[in-house]
Amino acid sequence: MAQQNAISPTRAQDFPEWYQQVIKAADMAENSEVRGCMVIKPWGYAIWELIQQQLDAEFKRTGHSNAYFPMLIPVAYLEKEAEHAEGFATECAVVTHHRLEAQKDPDTGKTRMIPAGELTDKYVIRPTSETVIGAAFSRWLESYRDLPFKVNQWCNVMRWEMRPRIFLRTAEFLWQEGHTAHETREEAEHETATMHKVYEDFQRDVLAVPSIPGEKTEHERFPGAVRTFTVEAMVQDRKAIQAGTSHFLGQNFAKAQNISFAGRNNERQYAWTTSWGVSTRMIGMLIMAHSDDDGLVCPPRVAPRQVVIIPVTPKAETREQILTHCRELAAKLAARQYHGMPVRVEVDERDLNGGTKKWEWIKKGVPLRVEIGPRDIEKASVCLARRDRPVGDKWFMLETDFEAQVIELLEDIQNSLLARQQAFRDAHIRTCDHLDDFKKNFSGEGDADWLLCPWDGSPEQEEELGKSLRISIRCIPHGELGQGPEAPCILTGRPTTRRVLWARSY
């Protein structure tokens, strides 16, 4: 009899619902009482903390310092940058009052809290912080000697979301946003490219998700930016997730908010600015990229527990001996370093049966499970299972060999997840030169490949074609993918060497 999967429905049956059930089974997050918002539970937040910790080290390595700015942004600030404000206008939550007053309903007798004290100045809860940070830059920067100025903040933002999905799209979410000011255009463009590469490398090396780096088209560009760069990840239903963006803002925000400085010739000039960010959306990407029909599969570098030891205690009189043995092994493992951090190991000492414990850790995606019982102690061995392999696969190792090889095992799991995802992605990106084939790929209800196409259409044509098939140009890929021999655009027929990636997306 075939073993039943832990998650129902399966990916093949209903991918969106499978995703929700993986999050529930792993106890990562839940919908809150506030529509469109989420409660991130300890297991999910631990993943975010590990993302944050490792990314923050990269930001500091590249010369950035952390700061914090207000979550309330005067509407007047947005009015200074019309294109930027228009791009976020429909997503803004507006604060208009500063107190509540209790009033009794004459019909029901119930007390209601009524907004009172209307604000003279209206505020939005930050959808992003270019304007408020630009205002600070305008106060702080005096001379070219103050540049470059590089800050980052870890915070929450709010963008009113009509179709929420935990981690992927919520009204409030967590993120980081970097903001920098530079003396020259070249320095700002270099900063934009540097942070774009930081995101690409981080997602590949830490999250085990290979992305396609590239530039957004004019139609998809960040509001107010001169150029926007993105990393696009493919998940298991072949949809794209915009996993991070880096924006070259030129002098647009500097001119709107008077971010100027005394140059080397002692004349006032406007700074060149950038912004870049990633969010808790990366957790959704990780879930959709790696997980299976038994639950979460978590790459070791962001697994809250990398090794879980499950004591097998069939007799009460030997329980303490086995627990002591497991604790001693855990201490030895925790003394070892994996990518600069102690191995995260836990001994599951709860008074539950072994099968319940095993399935809980499977659903939470722990990379390595270790079972130790009386016979294992007698043989000086351990029973091992890897989360990147079928649930029933187990093997035995001498305990001393396991202790010596635990780092290699974790790295092998990390690499196998990356290789698997890379192979899947590459198998579902293909070239397309004809509009009929293009429409056939995207017209059905099933999973659709990403198509690399010659493109010379206008932003208006891009929008019209995208809406008709519910797709978008994800990016103009960097390198050879984004350029090819001259060929007719699939829509206009005009010759072009540019190639773009079209896909469905979240």
100, 112 contact by CB (below 8 A): no
Instruction: Write down the pTM of the prediction.
Output: 0.95
380, 400 contact by CB (below 8 A): yes
pLDDT of 2 above 60:
no
DSSP run (H or E) holding 319: helix 316-334
pLDDT of 445 above 80:
no
175, 277 contact by CB (below 8 A): yes
> Could you tell me the pLDDT band of residue 3, with boundaries at 50, 70 and 90?
low
Q: What percent of the chain has pLDDT over 90?
A: 92
For 127, the 3-state DSSP assignment is coil
pLDDT of 193 above 60:
yes
242, 257 contact by CB (below 8 A): no
Residues 317, 82: Cα–Cα separation, whole Å = 74
List the alpha helices (DSSP H) in 365-488: 374-379, 399-427, 435-443, 459-469
Q: What percent of the chain has pLDDT over 70?
A: 99
> Could you tell me the pLDDT band of residue 162, with boundaries at 50, 70 and 90?
confident
Q: What is the mean pLDDT of residues 292-320?
A: 96
List the alpha helices (DSSP H) in 230-293: 252-257, 281-290
Residues 290, 482: Cα–Cα separation, whole Å = 27
Total residue count of the chain as it appears in this document: 506
451, 441 contact by CB (below 8 A): yes
DSSP run (H or E) holding 346: strand 345-347
Angle between helices 42-61 and 281-290 (to 10 degrees): 110
The per-residue pLDDT for range 49-64, each reduced to its tens digit, is 999 999 999 999 999 9
The DSSP symbol for 164 reads -
Q: How far is CA 379 from CA 93, 191, 212, 213, in A?
A: 63, 57, 48, 50
Q: What pLDDT is recorded for position 1? A: 41
What is the chain's mean pLDDT, rounded?
96
List the alpha helices (DSSP H) in 167-246: 185-205
Residue for token pair 């926007």: 228
Q: Catalogue all structural domains in the chain, each as residue range(s) with its CATH number.
A: 15-290 (3.30.930.10), 300-420 (3.40.50.800), 429-503 (3.30.110.30)
Among residues 414, 421, 24, 386, the alpha carbon closest in space to that of 236 is found at 421
Q: How far is CA 430 from CA 31, 438, 453, 462, 481, in A?
A: 37, 11, 9, 19, 11
The per-residue pLDDT for range 109-127, each reduced to its tens digit, is 899 999 999 999 999 999 9
Among residues 369, 389, 173, the alpha carbon closest in space to that of 290 is found at 389
DSSP run (H or E) holding 307: strand 307-311
